[in-house]
Amino acid sequence: MSSAGLYDEYKTKMQKIADVKYASAVLQWDQETYLPPKGNEFRGRQIATLTETAHELFISEKLGALLQELNAREDLGIQEKKNVQLSLEDYERNKKLSGAFVREMSEAVTRSYHAWAKARAENNFEIFHAPLHTVIELKKQEAELLGYKVHRYNALMNDYDKGLTVAITDEIFEDLKPQLISLLNEVRQKPQVDNKFLSQSFDTNKQWKFGMEILKRIGFDFEAGRQDISLHPFTINFNSRDVRVTTRIDEHDLGNMTWSCIHEGGHALYEQGLPEEQYGLPLGEYCSLSIHESQSRLWENSVGRAKPFWEHNFQLLKTFFPGQLDKLSIEEFYNGINRVEPSLIRTEADELTYHLHVMIRYELEKRLIEGTLGSKDIPAYWNELYKQYLGVIVPDDKRGCLQDIHWSHGSFGYFATYSLGSIYAAQFYAAIQRQNPSLEEEIARGKNDAILDWLKTNIYPHGRFYTSGELCYNVTGEKLNSKYFIDYATSKFTNIYS
């Protein structure tokens, strides 16, 4: 058969597998938004069946032989060749996991998620402990099956950012941490800015409508997506024309919903921008979770916490909440939304202390996966690190180790990508500014096109063609450099806390 014919066969098989995976994803989205409590058990079974089915289709001997034959062909185009190479790499990795193991993991994750939701509602880690322990043991087993060098955690980190290791992450964090702490100490010596205006009683329906309007203004296409409410904000996609985001609303914290919408909106814009002609293939998927997080952090912080964005949108906010913010100046608002203060909740943290939240989770995960910390010890170890890193006392499990959804999903190896994403975001934003010196003037006029166009040209269309490091070098001219984030943060917070 010709290479073109073989490639069409490969594409058909991969898209069939994608159909099954995304059908499972629809059920997962429903599970976290609208599923009635009594449906939990059967939903877990349904998701496990689809997950196992997709895995078995992917690790079939027939697909493996097809990938091997295509990989040996010399007449494929550059993109076709890359798709085949990446699929073969994924195949060989997934082949190490049996269908039975994948089903067991899926069922354990479903039980874990519902236990987490119950434990969080009742503010009691013990409800979550046993299901979480099962997931952790399975993740250890998964790492052993996949294989790794030096550290077991490397096998899991690789799932979220190809080639990312403990050694690489430790080096980045060891460089970043003292600079963050130094800047944080300087800020803490200055008079604190006021952000009490964020803690008034803000009508939940008006917050929802405001969040929807902000999503439209940054470019989210509501004909190719929607927003809903969930316990923990997330983004999920079923193709580039159907991307769902969720938010959560606290009546007494306007910031919770606002920057959750912008953060998830950044993720969603990436998914909506992926090439639809590559559906089901590696080049139709995001580069890595570090790059994905760069998209959410770029919109949330570089844009959404910057003064130009609010020079255009502050009047809109006042319109939604008449009388509540009338006496507030744009300067006071800008300073308040960027208040630096150690706190308990990662998703509500400022740009400096946020990284310390991430480092705490990273240290915890390393120890859990290497086996030097047991799941029963999580609350005590968590509380100790929060006291040590941030100087705050954790009052309960809900505001402590139960605040994040990731472990209930089995997402071990993910957290470091949040900080890496912030570093990439600062570097990308600096590159956009170099290309367009009038960028912030345009944002102040409500024109976000320059950002979105740059991302659509430089980030979105490549899918997984490049690794995170390769993509960064291609679009900025240098490898990942934390200097851009430190320079950005130093300039910003020196001005706010002058």
Whether the pLDDT of residue 455 is over 90: the answer is yes
Whether the pLDDT of residue 1 is over 90: the answer is no
Q: How far apart are CA 337 and CA 254, in angstroms?
A: 10
Contact 358, 289 (CB under 8 A): no
Helix (H, G, I), strand (E, B), or coil: what is residue 242?
Answer: strand
**Catalytic: which of 52, 107, 142, 264?**
264
pLDDT at 232: 80
Q: How far apart are CA 99 and CA 145, in angstroms?
A: 13
Whether the pLDDT of residue 3 is over 90: the answer is no
User: Which residue is associated with the tokens 């957290």?
Assistant: 415
Q: How far apart are CA 7 and CA 386, in angstroms?
A: 52
> In whole angstroms, how large is the CA radius of gyration of the chain?
23
Average pLDDT over residues 390-401: 94
Amino acid at 401: C
Dihedral class, residue 280 (left if φ above 0, else alpha if ψ from -120 to 50, else beta): left
Does 441 qualify as catalytic in the annotation? Answer: no
Residues 6 or more apart from 496 whose CB is under 8 A from it? 193, 334, 335, 338
Angle between helix 61-72 and 3-31 (nearest 10) = 130
Which residue stretches of 77-165 are H helix? 78-94, 99-122, 126-146, 152-157
Average pLDDT over residues 450-477: 96
pLDDT at 260: 94
What structural domains and CATH numbers belong to the chain?
3-147 (no CATH), 166-496 (1.10.1370.30)
Percent of the chain at pLDDT > 70 equals 100
User: Which phi and psi (to 5°) does residue 298 adopt?
Assistant: -60, -50
Whether the pLDDT of residue 261 is over 90: the answer is yes
Q: What is the pLDDT of residues 137-172, one digit of tens each?
A: 999 999 999 999 999 999 999 999 999 999 999 999
State the DSSP code for 462.
Answer: G
Q: What is the pLDDT of residues 47-93, one digit of tens each?
A: 989 999 999 999 999 999 999 999 999 999 999 999 999 999 999 99
Contact 56, 101 (CB under 8 A): no
Q: What is the pLDDT of residues 116-139, one digit of tens each?
A: 999 999 999 999 999 999 999 999
Average pLDDT over residues 399-415: 93
Residues 6 or more apart from 440 whose CB is under 8 A from it? 306, 308, 433
Contact 22, 62 (CB under 8 A): no
pLDDT at 97: 87
Helix (H, G, I), strand (E, B), or coil: what is residue 150?
Answer: coil
Percent of the chain at pLDDT > 90 equals 90
Q: How far apart are CA 253 and CA 43, in angstroms?
A: 33
